[in-house]
Amino acid sequence: MSRLSSPLKKELGDKNAQVFAKTHGVTTAGELVLVLPRRYYRRGELTPLSQLVEGEDATVVAEVVRTSTRPLRQRGGMMVEVVVTDGRDELSLAFFGRTNQVAYHQGRLKWGKAAMFSGKVQSYRGRLQLVHPEYELLPGDLDTVMATDADALRARADEVIPVYPAFKNLPSWKTAKAVATVLDTLTPEDVPDVLPSGVRDLEQVPGKLDALLHLHRPTDLEQPPRGRRHFELEEAYVTQVALARRRAALAVLPATPYPARDGGLLAAFDASLPFELTAGQQEVGGALSADLSRTSPMNRLLQGEVGSGKTVVALRAMLQVVDAGAQCALLAPTEVLAQQHVRSLTRMLGPLAAHGLLGGAVSGGPQVQVRLLTGSQSTADRRAALLDVASGDAGIVIGTHALLQDAVDFYDLGLVVVDEQHRFGVEQRDALRAKSGVPPHVLVMTATPIPRTVAMTVFGDLEVSTLTELPAGRQGITTAVVPDWRENYVDRCWQRVREAADAGHQVYVVCPRIGEGAEDDDEGVLSAPDPGERAERSQPGGEEGQLFGGAPGEDEEGRRPPRALYEVLAELRARPELAGLRLGTLHGRMRPDDKDAAMRSFAAGELDVLVATTVVEVGVDVPGATVMVIVDAERFGLSQLHQLRGRVGRGDQPGLCLLMTGAQEDEAGLGRLKSFAETTDGFAVADLDLASRREGDVLGAAQSGRNNSSLRYLRVLGNEDLITRARRYASDLVAFDPELTDAPRVREALERLEEREAFVERG
């Protein structure tokens, strides 16, 4: 058995092993040595106490002259003050914590003990001090140490010291000691390299054991980055091998080809379009058409700016499949979006959409039936929809997570379209794919722009197409930040809402949560939500304050709770400048019929203002909507804000997005919003958003940011070139050795990765 496979309780004892398992999540020696330092520092030149400067890092050699302990009444716990001297001057050291924590320092730093102390010099009540300094006890008293070990002290002062993550019951030094216990006994045979030697040589990274030594025992500050580079490359390489194998496995599957044909639905649809497709739409449409004509399944990601016309491109692909006699399924994350797709596709199809046989000639021309399937439909509607799906009468089936249920049986599923892919994962995509005897073609779409490295890493099993052009006639969107603690800004915000309504336009007001009062809404008794709506609320990006990529690093303490929909609705009804406006509501707890009625009324101009939650985030298309006010905007992720503001300015009038925020001038949240307001480039927004979040699970089902990221070392924004090269190395390996017969260590690393993914999904 490899030394690294040794259980941690065998190395450190049962009690210590339990502490490390709880804090770091490690149970073996191999996992322990991959707990990396969070920073490094060099003690630096020894400084006499008389020359200490506030704010600077310093290293001193001094002797303890006295200690004292006192309780901390306000914050709780204890403080130990240790006074040390270098023979001329004195310096105070302060340690805070629980009784047992400070007792540890008090027991070590007794009168007459000499030590080397390092830390940042601070000032308290006019006296310089070091708070929680790193220290190393020295043999003998100060005079003896300085007389006999002066050179050794200077050498120690020049050492690079790793600092590990600290926890309440596991200080940094204890982790360092445990890591050293394992590291001392390792040999090259214990730490086999996953990376092939050729890849290591090309990338000029050290072997794995040397990389560990660079990270845990660096001799200079240049070694830790070189050591980390090994693990970044290994992670990128193993991930890309997994994705390359997935691509290769999909490529050999058989698929039914659906070549375009003359005189069918697609040709009739193209002839009926009242506008000309953009160059990007034509190019992507050509790529999709070619993919659908092949005997291997299409697996393509279509990403595009909000309003770039992805739906038209997807519909044209679906019509090509329907022309060949097969069915298409469009999976949407929410019922509101599914209903919107039914309306928009039916509207675009015009007379080509009708009840009738799949692709059959009705009323003198080809037509297709578009069917909705959701979990909250009435029993009769659901039974009728399932029958049309099973018989093949429904050519295009649009639904929520309900499409994934076992009861849904397609007659001949040829194309799966997954909308807003960031709300779904690989497993859900595969579940829908499995509903066809022959693997169907798959198109996944997202209006959340994805940086190139994320596309290569998170969606690396898919070919990627991008739409960047907006259709002709779009007037653009202006974004402004409205601090809600400036009364004149707030007044002007609601005046703009009034002006838009008086001009005959519609306005969205988006709130971070529903809040109290849903049961009292005059739209009727609430029903159980559709499974898709439940999923929306349970995942990041859903309602009730669980917001996608919320403002990072902000402490909820001392902040008021996020504004609720019904609270904001009451405020709008009370504002004199909004008197007489027709206000409506839309949120995930409403009946499906009530949601649909609200959206229809809003789109028809029967409502002036729609007060909603993030249920309007994706796919909602109301050309008359020109203004959006987002309440508590700092509580939303930037990509989500970009999605939301894309709901306005979709007609021939310019859009305005007003970000109302309680963030103060000195808070990071306000800076994020100002940066967001300065650009409408979705890819720039995605970079800003990703810089403040984790990348999410790479191979598992969850593909939006989450804490349990399977990427431990790699940062897709900072490692673009590395990921690109790793993809090339991985593709070459899989092409030459698809079963990894000659790369057993890579295969073992893949198995460990899959085990970790399975663990993350269970968690």
DSSP, residue by residue, 320-342: HHHHTT-EEEEE-SSHHHHHHHH
Distance of CA 173 to the CA centre of its chain: 33
CB 68 within 8 A of CB 77: no
CA distance 53 to 47: 10
CA distance 346 to 372: 11
Which residues on neighbouring strands pair with residue 464, listed in sequence order? 301
The three-state DSSP-derived secondary structure of 21-88 is HHHCCCCEHHHHCCCCCCEEEECCCECCHHHCCCCCEEEEEEEEEEEEEEECCCCCCEEEEEEEECCC
In angstroms, what CA-CA distances link 44 with 66, 415, 573, 577?
26, 65, 65, 65
User: Would you give the DSSP letter of residue 276?
Assistant: P
| CB-count burial class (<10 Å; 0-12, 13-18, 19+) for 110 | exposed
- Position 358 scores a pLDDT of 39
CB 461 within 8 A of CB 246: yes
Q: Which residues contact 499 (CB under 8 A, 6 or more apart)?
A: none
| CB-count burial class (<10 Å; 0-12, 13-18, 19+) for 201 | exposed
In angstroms, what CA-CA distances link 51 with 91, 130, 232, 321?
11, 14, 42, 80
Structure tokens at 634: 């700092």
In the chain the domains, ranked by start, together with CATH numbers, are 44-158 (2.40.50.140), 265-467 (3.40.50.300), 477-679 (3.40.50.300)
Residue (of 677, 648, 647) closest to 660 by Cα position: 677
In angstroms, what CA-CA distances link 69 with 95, 222, 622?
10, 41, 68
CA distance 37 to 218: 11
CA distance 609 to 658: 14
Strands 114-124 and 57-71: antiparallel
pLDDT, one tens digit per residue, over 619-632 is 577 889 999 999 99
Look up residue 710 and give its amino acid: S
CA distance 112 to 145: 12
CA distance 532 to 552: 27
How does 712-725 read in b/e, with b if 16+ C-beta sit within 10 Å? ebbbbeebbebbeb
Q: Which residues contact 556 (CB under 8 A, 6 or more apart)?
A: none
Does the CA dihedral 294-300-304-306 come out positive or negative? positive
Residue (of 554, 557, 578) closest to 568 by Cα position: 578
CA distance 571 to 671: 27
CA distance 307 to 328: 23
Structure tokens at 676: 């967001």
Question: What's the CA angle centered on 382, arms 539 and 326, to 5 degrees?
Answer: 90
CA distance 343 to 600: 10
Q: Which parts of the chain register pLDDT below 50?
A: 355-363, 518-557, 696-709, 758-763
| CB-count burial class (<10 Å; 0-12, 13-18, 19+) for 593 | middle
Structure tokens at 656: 């305005």
- Position 534 scores a pLDDT of 35
Residue (of 621, 614, 604, 597) closest to 311 by Cα position: 621
pLDDT, one tens digit per residue, over 598-621 is 988 998 899 999 999 988 876 577
CA distance 512 to 543: 7
Which alpha helices (DSSP H) does 696-743 contain, by range? 720-736
User: Would you give the DSSP letter of residue 509?
Assistant: E
Mapped onto helix, strand or coil, the DSSP state of residue 480 is strand
Look up residue 623 and give its amino acid: P
CA distance 230 to 714: 11
Strands 114-124 and 134-138: antiparallel
- Position 424 scores a pLDDT of 58
What's the residue count for the chain? 763
- Within 10 angstroms of residue 322's Cβ, the number of other Cβ atoms is 25
